[in-house]
Structure 1
């Protein structure tokens, strides 16, 4: 293949001239890019500190800071391509069309995004709360833009989509600070009902983890075909709930055995 040296020299000269003519725009664009990235980090850090000083919810602080971060990055990118000499109006139109197409294909993700906003605004729960939702009982670790990250009692990490979470039933076990354990003890009809009730109530009153306000309750719940069923309802702080639940089961069974009261084999628990 024959290459004309004069033609090659002409192309090289044109390329050098084009590079010289275009270099100011190129340098300006990349200067704006590097300065802009640094400025965005600085602004984001300042905004986070301001929101933290105003004692805003940590989840809301992170959420708003992330939205601001991406908005500034998009603005910086548009400014960058504008300094390169690319027509931004057509680019914005293309970007809008792409956004519409992506939005239609990601309706589920947009639903999760909207769900995340609703959770943050209306606060049915916050980080650290123990909740029951979507068939999961777990402690909330982080409320992200699209999902909520939770940790179960057996140390499993669960990610629940915010769309389903915000539209479903949520039971918040931590919001009130106190929780009641609902237990049922069944004794035989041959037992002294008043004595059994006094023993169960005494067990609750002796446990220092059981709250006295609201007062614990013991009462006859049902007369079934083979037993007298007692409702045993101690109250406890959220942190002590598990201990109170298990200790009540053990202590009540032990106390009834020591008193010679027969506990029926089918003890119900809720």
Structure 2
């Protein structure tokens, strides 16, 4: 990062936040900059957080954890929004509102993060999203999907994962299959959402969840779930994110 930047609001997200130490942050602040530290889903030490002007939480769980720390640094929440390019694509072509047979289920993300077996892959199409490079090809495969698969492998480095898969599915007018060990998702979807499956699910539990989705496809439970997803989408609309950003900058 250029040390010549002056009198600006600087957002240090994930990779930049990971490489910062307190002295580097103080150097930037001494040039009249306000430092907004946004580790997204990674951890940040108290020393680094204390050096910033504002600590940004990209999820509800992160916000609660940051506020519990003995820090004088201001803590704000700016939810992880859906990629604006996908929002534009869906606005141009329309989201899935009237499902047609057969039910189409896809997973979008790093495939190493998903729970997958040959039996699960027979029902779920896995679309790899390479987050290490700019690639929007996967977005073309979002329209028309009825259910997003979001059963993840949990890793030790996972901290506060934003519910981005849920936000994406909701924007696209789709339902989502997910496990009850998704801490962040529980803040966004009610306990009676029909397509929760048990925490740390076995292959059999996942297959049973997919079968239940097929059995209820287009039925009353399906429509109720879509209503919940529309409510979720409203909570993460652009206007909401802009308001959070404005509050953070005030």
TM-score range, shorter chain: under 0.3
**Higher helix share goes to which structure?**
1
Greater relative CO, 1 or 2 (CA 8 Å, sep 6+): 2
Q: So what's the TM-score if we normalise by structure 1?
A: 0.20
Q: So what's the TM-score if we normalise by structure 2?
A: 0.21
Larger radius of gyration: 1
